[in-house]
Amino acid sequence: MDSSAKKPDWIRVALPAGNEWKQVGQTLARHGLHTVCDEARCPNKGECWGQGTATFMILGDVCTRSCRFCAVKSAKSGLPVREDEAEALASAVAELGLSYVVITSVDRDDLPDRGAEHFSACVKAVRSKVPRAKIEILVPDYIDKEMELAAASNPNVLAHNVETVRRLQGVRDKRASFEKSLATLTQAKERGIRTTKSSILLGLGETRDELREAYRELRLAEVDILVLGQYLRPSVQELPIVEYIHPDTFQLYAADAREAGFAAVVASPFARTSYHALDAWQARAMPGKGD
């Protein structure tokens, strides 16, 4: 598809309204924290920040992988790990009064444990300061010892994204694969994580049959929550969009996913892994009631 082609009517991002989004931005700046909302140019920033929620991005803002659809900066090595980041994160969560916290990170292949222990430290710090908060972590493709470290803090939800169907995995960094992502999600369950989650970007050229096969494999890995969202090209540096998926087709794909057995399905053009995360977590115990 021509990157200059006009976006369809259903691709419209609401502008931030009210003061809540300003408060979130000010709190993050005061504590020197990053969010995936900014770094990945997420289309939901206005809505989520307006509701007083944010997805925190730890371990710096430089990724050691270079996926062809992602706007996050990349390099062979990331930034030095901030020793007080866990405490700063917990303080920000407390100040914002969040009841559901999503923590993600860049990939850090340059670290011995790829940042897994730091994830665990951040979860423990938030839980210590805000015991009532539910915590979701969106992790890189951790396996074995890395997964053991990340799962040790017992987050309420562990998410990891397969990103797209098997045939199109070449849009990801060459170190990633559908098979390795399935291993990450499987090992999370094996280490006692009760709720797991994954996400697929649509509009990269996938077919309905390929999506159904992806659902089947994710359910074999016992993934509970699935998110389906439209790929939106962050800039001319990233992959062009093959197709804008109509909202009616999103609902068709969501129905397929529910039929495959996911406890909760979030499906809309602007849906991302952490979009309506609390709603999805609450819906997971009510099969058939996706978002």
- Is a pLDDT exceeding 80 seen at residue 66? yes
Letter for the amino acid at 97? G
Average pLDDT over residues 221-235: 93
pLDDT in the model for residue 276 = 60
**pLDDT band of 216, cuts 50, 70, 90:** very high
- Is a pLDDT exceeding 50 seen at residue 82? yes
CATH code of the domain containing 232: 3.20.20.70
- Asked whether residue 130 is domain-assigned, the answer is yes
280 or 52, which is more confident = 280
- Asked whether residue 288 is domain-assigned, the answer is no
- Asked whether residue 42 is domain-assigned, the answer is yes
pLDDT in the model for residue 55 = 81
Pick from 45-54, 131-140, 194-203: least confident: 45-54
Share of the chain above pLDDT 70, in %: 80
Mean pLDDT of the chain: 86
Average pLDDT over residues 21-48: 62
Residue 237 domain boundaries: 20-283
Average pLDDT over residues 145-172: 97
Number of domains the chain contains: 1
- Asked whether residue 56 is domain-assigned, the answer is yes
- Asked whether residue 5 is domain-assigned, the answer is no
Pick from 82-86, 185-189, 272-276: least confident: 272-276
- Is a pLDDT exceeding 80 seen at residue 70? yes
Pick from 79-83, 101-105, 114-118, 275-279: least confident: 275-279
- Asked whether residue 6 is domain-assigned, the answer is no
Average pLDDT over residues 145-161: 96
pLDDT in the model for residue 50 = 45
CA distance 158 to 110: 22
CA distance 151 to 133: 17
- Asked whether residue 123 is domain-assigned, the answer is yes
- Asked whether residue 12 is domain-assigned, the answer is no
Q: Which of 186, 137, 178 is nearest to 157 (CA)?
A: 137
SS3 224: coil
Pick from 20-24, 66-70, 167-171: least confident: 20-24
- Is a pLDDT exceeding 50 seen at residue 289? no
128 burial type by CB count under 10 A (0-12 exposed, 13-18 middle, 19+ buried): exposed
23 burial type by CB count under 10 A (0-12 exposed, 13-18 middle, 19+ buried): middle
Average pLDDT over residues 106-118: 97
